[in-house]
Amino acid sequence: MASSPVPHEPPIYRRIADRLRQAILAGEFRDGDRLPGENALMSEYGIARATARQALAVLINEGVAVPKRGSGVYVRHFRPIRRHGSRRLSREQWGTGKAIWDSDVTGRPFTVDDIVIAREAAAEDVGRVLGCGEVWVRRRRYSVDGRPVQLAASHFPADLVEGTPITVPDTGPGGVYARLGDLGHAPVHFTEEVRARMPSPDEAAKLRLPAGTPVIEVCRSAFAAGGTAVELNKMIIDAASYVLQYDFDA
Amino acid sequence: MASSPVPHEPPIYRRIADRLRQAILAGEFRDGDRLPGENALMSEYGIARATARQALAVLINEGVAVPKRGSGVYVRHFRPIRRHGSRRLSREQWGTGKAIWDSDVTGRPFTVDDIVIAREAAAEDVGRVLGCGEVWVRRRRYSVDGRPVQLAASHFPADLVEGTPITVPDTGPGGVYARLGDLGHAPVHFTEEVRARMPSPDEAAKLRLPAGTPVIEVCRSAFAAGGTAVELNKMIIDAASYVLQYDFDA
DNA sequence: CAGTGGTCTAGACCACATA
DNA sequence: ATGTGGTCTAGACCACTGC
């Protein structure tokens, strides 16, 4: 008997999520607009509550929508900060200065909190890059407009920086790179390794990330003239708040 | 009366997810190991099926675990490909060559499929960067070991490349950049804009991404000597398969 | 106070994988 | 054939938001 050779209809909750996503892309819902809630979907489609929730969960985990307790589910905003890798080659001199993504947060001041400076045993990966067993670590959190956007942890070989201003909160004019220069180890080269992943619960809490928001993990190594690694800066960045820009010549 | 000032216990499903995550980090479950399934969690904790599912969904949406239908939920693997931004400055000459993340896929050959070459009206953002209304687009998908890892779409100003090998599948020796050179528009400068986000359903399907996997979106603009943009390459990259590396001098 | 999302229970049927 | 995850129903109580 010819059984229906249908190429597999998606489940109800997927179809609803797809419809809502389409409506958002088509502009029927704008940034910040309230989407139909669980009750609305239940009555509109004649489905159970859990199914309506599942449909909304799809959009939430895609980062397209954000739930607000007791209020509703809302279309999400994307307003990135632009972070330049090598400022020396930065884009202004190239092309018409046109970028793919707008970044209207650029220029607003960062605030810093949660500063912790400590001498620690180096984690396995950090020790391998810096070539040492003990490190001084400077941890802090950056915020823009009161919204946390980045966690950073700078690691230095303990023997190299012991007793210098790098081990205290105020590093003096020029910051840690100037102090490394004072030591005869000014960074002359950087390499950044970039990956993206979903945040750990700890990172999600510290950055106040809604579901569906990845983080970008940037590990920047700084090298002095001899080729020795003098700093390793691990950054955890709210992916919804940032665009990274790298410039280089052919 | 003194009501209990408890700092809010997390819900059951969160606590179970946290326990499992800890066990994974502690090495009790290794890459590829099977985690306790829904039935196991239901009987172990005396909870309903939906609650056990919710606990597993947390780990799946974090990208920590991957569900396999009819089989189980498994601990996920991270084995990235390393992609170099500017090969000229690449890391080998710096430091001890130690990187934060291993990348054992490096060197394995890419395969290419889904090649589509077409002349189109430029999307709003593409047209702004390239300064034109019509573009030739070269789309393709890259795979490693049969696993799709990247979608790429190179855009060229239509007037610039019309009638050249850039508009046909075989671009000849040296590829599109050599052909741009033939036209007197060899790229001398590149800008890459990098962001991360959750994939659209279409992207997730084309890259066969499990839930909890972000994509990295790289938009690379190539500029010729005069400063005109001659190419815009939009890449959608499986974040679980890639580490991007950028090298630059101070 | 009414409506919203957050959590949870106790069932059900299905498609699929493995043995 | 058994067990697994995938989908769905029909309820319930809670905490929180906004009027």
Instruction: Output the pLDDT for position A146.
Output: 83
Q: What percent of chain B has pLDDT over 70?
A: 90
Window from A89-98, B74-83, B115-124, B161-170 with minimum mean pLDDT: A89-98
* Residue that wins the pLDDT comparison between A101 and A137: A137
Average pLDDT, chain A: 89
pLDDT band at B5 (very low <50, low <70, confident <90, very high): very low
Q: Per CA to C1' distance, which residue is closest to C8?
A: B51
CB A82 within 8 A of CB A245: yes
Instruction: Output the pLDDT for position B1.
Output: 41
Q: Which CATH architecture has domain A12-75?
A: Orthogonal Bundle (1.10)
Window from A47-56, A89-98, A199-208, A241-250 with minimum mean pLDDT: A89-98
Of A88, A216, A248, the CB nearest to B196: A216
pLDDT band at B2 (very low <50, low <70, confident <90, very high): very low
CB B48 within 8 A of CB B42: yes
Pairing relation of β-strands A134-144 and B134-144?
A: unpaired
The C-alpha atoms of residue B90 and residue B86 are separated, in whole angstroms, by: 6
The C-alpha atoms of residue A212 and residue B67 are separated, in whole angstroms, by: 18
Chain A residue with the nearest C-alpha to that of B25: A200
Nearest CA among B156, B145, B149 for reference residue B180: B156
Residue the block writes with tokens 């009819």: B70
Instruction: Output the pLDDT for position A93.
Output: 55
pLDDT band at B92 (very low <50, low <70, confident <90, very high): low
Instruction: Centre a 10 Å sphere on the Cβ of residue B89 and count the other Cβ atoms it contains.
Output: 21
Work out if B71's Cβ lies within 7 angstroms of strand D.
yes
Question: A126: part of which helix (H) or strand (E)?
Answer: helix A124-130
CB B115 within 8 A of CB B139: yes
The C-alpha atoms of residue B127 and residue B123 are separated, in whole angstroms, by: 6
What type of residue is A100?
Answer: I
CB A217 within 8 A of CB A195: yes
Q: Give A196-240 pLDDT, tens digit per residue.
A: 999 999 999 999 999 999 999 999 999 999 889 999 999 999 999
Instruction: Output the pLDDT for position B108.
Output: 76
In Å, what is the CA distance from A13 to each residue of A19, A20, A187, A195, B194?
A: 10, 11, 53, 31, 32
What would the mean pLDDT of A168-185 be, rounded to a whole number?
Answer: 91
Nearest CA among A211, A210, A214, A234 for reference residue A222: A234
Backbone torsions φ then ψ of A91, nearest 5 degrees: -65, -20
In chain B, which residues have their Cβ closer than 8 Å to the Cβ of A249? Answer: 86, 88, 188-190
Where does CATH 1.10.10.10 sit in chain B? 12-75
Instruction: Output the pLDDT for position A94.
Output: 59
What would the mean pLDDT of B98-105 be, rounded to a whole number?
Answer: 72
Residue A157 CA and nucleotide C13 C1' are separated, in Å, by 61
| Statement: residue B48 has pLDDT above 70 | yes
Q: Give the class (CATH, top level) of B81-245.
A: alpha beta
Average pLDDT, chain B: 89
Whether B250 sits inside 8 A of A18 (CB atoms) is: no
Where does A185-226 have alpha helices with state H? 201-206
Residue B48 CA and nucleotide C15 C1' are separated, in Å, by 22
Tokens of A171: 């590093």
Chain B residue with the nearest C-alpha to that of A100: B125
In chain A, which residues have their Cβ closer than 8 Å to the Cβ of B21? Answer: 200-201
Residue A8 CA and nucleotide D2 C1' are separated, in Å, by 25
| Statement: residue B239 has pLDDT above 60 | yes
Question: A235: part of which helix (H) or strand (E)?
Answer: strand A229-238
| Statement: residue A122 has pLDDT above 90 | yes
| Statement: residue A25 has pLDDT above 60 | yes
Tokens of A187: 């960074």
CA atoms within 13 Å, Cβ hemisphere of A224: 19
**What angle (nearest 5°) sits at the alpha carbon of residue A53, between those of residues A200 and B199?**
50
Whether A194 sits inside 8 A of B246 (CB atoms) is: yes
Instruction: Output the pLDDT for position B244.
Output: 95
Tokens of A50: 């859990």
User: Which residues make up the interface with nucleic strand C when CB must lie under 7 A?
Assistant: A 35, 37-40, 49-50, 53, 56, 67-73; B 11-14, 46-51, 54, 68-71
Residue the block writes with tokens 């009750």: A39
| Statement: residue A17 has pLDDT above 50 | yes
The C-alpha atoms of residue A63 and residue B57 are separated, in whole angstroms, by: 16
| Statement: residue B8 has pLDDT above 80 | no
Q: What percent of chain A has pLDDT over 90?
A: 74
Instruction: Output the pLDDT for position B236.
Output: 98
| Statement: residue B105 has pLDDT above 70 | no
The C-alpha atoms of residue B108 and residue B145 are separated, in whole angstroms, by: 8
- For chain A, what is the total number of helices (H) and then of strands (E)? 7, 11
Q: Which nucleotides of C are covered by protein (CB under 7 A)?
A: 3-12, 15-18
Instruction: Centre a 10 Å sphere on the Cβ of residue B10 and count the other Cβ atoms it contains.
Output: 11
Whether A89 sits inside 8 A of B216 (CB atoms) is: no
Chain A residue with the nearest C-alpha to that of B203: A62
Work out if B38's Cβ lies within 7 angstroms of strand D.
yes
| Statement: residue B160 has pLDDT above 80 | yes
Instruction: Output the pLDDT for position A5.
Output: 41
Instruction: Output the pLDDT for position A206.
Output: 94
Tokens of A214: 């990845």
Work out if A48's Cβ lies within 7 angstroms of strand D.
yes
Instruction: Output the pLDDT for position B88.
Output: 61
Residue A36 CA and nucleotide D15 C1' are separated, in Å, by 21
- Which residues does A81 contact at the CB level (< 8 Å), separation at least 6? A103, A105, A106, A144, A149, A241, A242, A243
Residue A181 CA and nucleotide D9 C1' are separated, in Å, by 68
Q: Give B176-232 pLDDT, tens digit per residue.
A: 999 999 999 999 999 999 999 999 999 999 999 999 999 999 999 999 998 899 999
C-alpha dihedral sign at B126, B129, B133, B136: negative
